[in-house]
Amino acid sequence: MKIAMGADHAGYRLKDVIIPFIESLGHQVEDLGCHCGDSVDYPDYALAVCEKVTAGEADKGILICGTGIGMTIAANKVPGIRCALVHDLFSAKATREHNDSNVLAMGERVIGPGVAQEIVSIWLGTEFSEGPRHQNRVGKIKELEDRFTLHP
């Protein structure tokens, strides 16, 4: 599986820990930055990751900032993205099974590397598997997206 990954200045250290972990699981990672503690704008990195996912150039995306909140909000503005902010193991599994999330967001200031690795492992290893009622709900999310997306 190919994973697009991005972080801002408040999340790049956790990103740099998570990338080799994902590779050790046998996945390919495209690191879209950032690579230092200098202040940057998280929407730029959310967009870069989400464009890779929606273009089919990555199977899934992972975003990290200080809390994960800003990245989640920005990512969910991109049509076709279902980004989930996750800081616990139950939610990591549920968001894949029930919501078919294609982008994961986490906060470096909220969780440590060990929990982040467990979340990533569960999230990457869980399929969208909860049947027709959840597919119907994900379909309704797409309908909302289509309804409110401006078409040039």
> Residue 31: what are its φ and ψ, rounded to 5°?
-90, 110
Q: Give the type of residue at 9.
A: H
Query: Would you state the structure tokens that stand for residue 76, as one six-digit string?
Result: 């969910």
User: How many DSSP H helices and E strands does the chain contain?
Assistant: 6, 5
Range(s) of the domain holding residue 27: 2-148
Mean pLDDT computed over 17-46:
97
Query: Annotated binding residues, as ranges?
Result: 8-9, 66-70, 99, 109, 133, 137
pLDDT above 70 covers a percentage of the chain that reads 98
Band (139; pLDDT cuts 50, 70, 90): very high
Name the nearest CA neighbour of 3 among 98, 120, 92: 120
Q: Is 98 a catalytic residue?
A: yes
Torsion angle defined by CA atoms of residues 106, 107, 112 and 118, in that order, rounded to the nearest 10 degrees? -10
Average pLDDT, the chain: 95
Query: Annotated binding residues for D-ribulose 5-phosphate, as ranges?
Result: 8-9, 66-70, 99, 109, 133, 137
- Which CATH number does the domain housing residue 25 bear? 3.40.1400.10
What kind and span of H or E run contains 151?
none
Q: pTM of the predicted model, to two decimals? A: 0.95
Catalytic residue among 35, 50, 83, 98: 98
Q: Number of folded domains in the chain?
A: 1
Q: Is the pLDDT of residue 55 over 90?
A: yes
On the CB side of 82, how many CA atoms lie within 13 Å of its CA?
18
Name the nearest CA neighbour of 75 among 112, 38, 46: 46
* Residue range 66-118, pLDDT digits in tens: 999 999 999 999 999 999 999 999 999 999 999 999 999 999 999 999 999 99
